[in-house]
Every structure is written in C-alpha cells, then in structure tokens.
Structure 1
Amino acid sequence: MAKNDELVFGIHSVTALMERTPERFIEVWFLKGRDDERVTPLINLARQYGVSVQFMHRKALDEKSEGEQHQGVIARVKAAKMLTENDLSDIVENTLAKNELPFLLILDGVTDPHNLGACLRNADAAGVQAIVVPKDNAAKITATVRKVAVGAAETVPLVQVTNLARSMKALQEQGVWIIGTAGEATQSLYECKLQGPMALVMGAEGKGMRRLTRETCDELVKLPMAGSVSSLNVSVASGICLFEIVRQRLG
C-alpha cells in the first residue's frame, strides 16, 4: 500500500466516505458471496463512481484488516488533507457568516482511538462544526477511529493544531467563549449559561486538561458526581456536556 493511502473498514464508514469524497477511493474489497441489502447498494455506488471493486474470501480480508472488524468491506483511499489552525479560523468565520453560532469541541490529551471515535459520533449528533486536538499527544484519524465513529469521522472535521493554548486564544479573539471541564471547578455544568458562540474543552480521563489549557479557558465547570466514581469516560462526559449546550440553545 502506498505511503499516503489509508484503509477504511466497515459498511457505515466506507459508505459515508464514498458519499462525501468518492474521488479519494482507489479500490474496495468485499467479502465474496455476500449479497444483501446492506452491501449491494455500496457495491453499486462504488461502480457508479468508477471505483475498482474486488471480491475476496474472509481470510484475505481478515489479513488486510489486521484484526479490525471489517463487516466484509475494506476500502483503500487516498489520505485526507490535514486541517490546521488556518482551517479552524475559516470554519469559525464561515459559521458566523451564515449567522450561525460556532460550536466546537476541544480534546486535550485524548490518545485512545476508541474515545476519539466516540467523541466524533457525539459531536456529529450535537451539531458540532469541528473537533480540535493538539498535533502531538493526541489520537489521529485511523481505521479504528472511523469504525467507532460510524460515519461521523467523515462529517465532523478534525483540526490538528501545533499550540493548543494559542489556538484557543485565537478562537477567543473571534468571539468564541471557551468552557473547560475540571473536577476542581466550583460551578456545575447545569449552573452555567451555555448559549453563545462556544467551544467545550475536555481533558483526558484521570489527567484532565493540561495546566496551560485550563488557564486559557474563560470558565470552568464540573459534572456533579453523586456516586463513588470520581470521573467519567471522556466520550461519555463530552456527550453529556455537548447536549446540555444543545438543550440550552434550544430552550
């Protein structure tokens, strides 16, 4: 496989990517003998776009997927362009130009691909316009992330920035209010007004946000924890926080 190529596994991930950027596709491998209502439309779509379609036995697909669950579908695609700080500024400007409120999710130190995939899925459902991560010490888009995200990796832009605190300050200059989640915060999520242009910052489970990230936030909130556990998985916590913002905006 060429250096700049990626593998995408699973029906949802491959379908979502093909519907949005068919020009990236090089070839798609399907499980030989599988012909059902979930796979047949994808085979037809690939052929419609002139993408090479091949059929393989399960053992060959398993070898290509290197242990990942592929659902009988694997695609080889050209790597996507990496989005950076300039793209983030454009996303906010374009959102404001459409008279919409910027709504971003910032992940600081989230390195587990399953958590990133779940956060992408949450972000898509909540209407987030982009997820922002540091370039280093953070999970990147991989086949595992795409599989967990169930298509959301193709709908929510992932922006990698060199300096997270600097990018947060640039967002603040564009009028975005930045809310950070921290266990030591004195204010509950449900006591905070969450209705304007906003970015929510989530740190890694256990470690939380880094010091400079925390200090750059405009406001810190916490989730009220009534039980014996001290923290929630970052994807669970992000879902709760994102939909509280959605609830307040709809109210």
Structure 2
Amino acid sequence: MQQMQNNSEETELVFGTHAVVELLKSPTANQRVNKVLVQKDLKSEHIGEVIKLAKRDRLIVQEVPKNKLDTITNNGTHQGMAAYIAPYQYAEMDAIFENAEKKGTDPFILILDKIEDPHNLGSIMRTADAVGVDGIIIPKHRSTGLTSTVAKTSTGAIEHIPVVRVTNLVNMIKDLKKKNVWVFGTAMEGHNYRQWNAKGAIALVIGNEGKGVSPLVQKQVDETLSIPMVGHVQSLNASVATGVLLYQAYASRNE
C-alpha cells in the first residue's frame, strides 16, 4: 500500500485512468482528494477529463514529469495521472440495505472470509459492482483492507460499492439471518452452483485463498455450493470462483 505523510495527515496514492476518473466523479471527491497529479506535456482525452473534474471541485492540480509519477507509483501503470487521497472509509451495515431499497430489490450481499490478497479483493469488487451486489462485508483481522492496490485493481468500483468491516463474522451472519437473509457458502460437497436459486435476500460467503471458509463461519451458512471441476487442479483463484458464482446469482435473480 502506498502511504505518505502530507500536511501531517495520512494519505494514500491512487493512480491509473479508471481509478482516478471514478474517484473524481464520486460525490465526496472534494472532501477526500488532497492533490491531483498529471503528467507534464501529456495530452489525452482522459487527462483532459481529469483536469476538468478536478477544477470543478477546485482541487489542486499539479503537472509533474513522467519520472516523478514512475517513482511515486513504483513504476506502476499510472497512465499519466495520480491522486493523493485520504484513506478509504468503511460503510455501516445500513448502507447495504439502503442500496437494495433504492433499487427496489432484495439485498444481495457478499461476505469475504479473510481474503488476504489486495488484488483479489479489487477484482472481486469489480465483479460485485458489475452484477449489482449491494455491499461487501470483510473482517477487521487477518484480511486485506481498502488500500490503494485494491482501488487500482477495482478500476473504480471501490467508489460505488460499500464495504463494511466487522469484528466478528459469525455474529454478523447471525444478525443477517435474523433479517431473513439466506446465507450461502462454498464446499466441495455442496450443491452444483448451476442449480442455485439466488432469488430473495441472500449473502454469499467466499473463503480465504488457501484455507477456504473457516469452520466457525461454515457452521452458520444455510446452504453450500460447489463448482464442478474435471481438471487436475481442483481449486480456483478466489476472485475467479467469486466471479463464477456471482454471475450465476445474477442470472438467477434476473430470469
């Protein structure tokens, strides 16, 4: 995670076209963005859009040489733009249900049980936003949080989907069930995901990259799903498995 000190306040660096443009389009941009950096002498449609959005909110825009952007992004794919921002804020649980209410749909929730790779979290957020997930829940401990790497990988989805961080996933799932949310998990012996009826208020639990869903959390799920595999490798990357399941849920919910 890229972190720097700026005017005695902790800041993070976001870079790349999609991440910066979506950041500046968000309604809280003028509260969160400390400075926008654009590559000197680089002209493009996206650079122009970034400058226009930044000036709309009276944000500081600084032109810097390419080697400056290369250095602060550790030679990342910055595409000529970056922004220093305040750390990402986590949402309250009510935001998830409010999202569903605004859309007039049943809540569609994703629970991530100790996802450790920020690239996986960013990719998962991107897919979750695409299929209409109302919010993501992650644990506070032994899990990646909302970092600049997550923001970059999510290609802007981080600006649109609320992420709630909780101390105890088991207690949180119990609370969801009291609100009539049906909780699904994943297991090798679960039902074939292609027959998944994902209608209604649901939550899908995705486990850790190596260990899967933790035993205590697994005990709380109402039903388990499996993804059949016929190859030699009997597991999928966490973000890939999540994508497969989320699109099946999307298909089921939009028949």
TM-score between the two structures when normalised by the length of structure 1: 0.93
Q: CA deviation at 1:94?
A: 5.7
Give the equivalent residue in structure 2 for 1:56.
64
- SS of the equivalent of 1:156 reads coil
Change (3 A) 1:74 1:98: closer
Q: CA deviation at 1:61?
A: 1.3
| 1:217 equivalent among 191, 215, 221 | 221
Give the equivalent residue in structure 2 for 1:5.
11
Unpaired runs of 5+ residues, structure 2, are none
Asked if structure 1 preserves the Cα contact closer than 8 Å seen for 2:100 and 2:108, the reply is no
Measure the CA separation in 1 of the matches of 2:99 and 2:155. 26
Measure the CA separation in 2 of the matches of 1:120 and 1:90. 16
Alignment of 1:22 onto 2:35: no
- SS of the equivalent of 1:7 reads strand
Give the equivalent residue in structure 2 for 1:198.
202
Question: What amino acid is the match of 1:13?
Answer: A
Asked if structure 2 preserves the Cα contact closer than 8 Å seen for 1:181 and 1:221, the reply is yes
Measure the CA separation in 1 of the matches of 2:29 and 2:138. 26
Give the equivalent residue in structure 2 for 1:172.
177
Change (3 A) 1:150 1:66: same
Measure the CA separation in 2 of the matches of 1:89 and 1:172. 15
Give the equivalent residue in structure 1 for 2:236.
232
Asked if structure 1 preserves the Cα contact closer than 8 Å seen for 2:123 and 2:239, the reply is yes
Q: CA deviation at 1:95?
A: 2.6
- SS of the equivalent of 1:159 reads strand
- SS of the equivalent of 1:44 reads helix
Measure the CA separation in 2 of the matches of 1:93 and 1:35. 41
Deviations 1:9-49 (A, max 9, x none): 11111111111122211111111111111211111111121
Give the equivalent residue in structure 2 for 1:68.
76
Measure the CA separation in 2 of the matches of 1:241 and 1:128. 12
Unpaired runs of 5+ residues, structure 1, are none
Q: CA deviation at 1:241?
A: 0.5
| 2:150 equivalent among 128, 133, 145 | 145
Aligned-residue identity in percent? 38
Asked if structure 2 preserves the Cα contact closer than 8 Å seen for 1:205 and 1:231, the reply is no
Between stretches 28-37 and 55-64, larger displacement belongs to 55-64
RMSD: 1.6
Question: What amino acid is the match of 1:165?
Answer: V
Measure the CA separation in 2 of the matches of 1:98 and 1:30. 36
Measure the CA separation in 2 of the matches of 1:114 and 1:80. 16
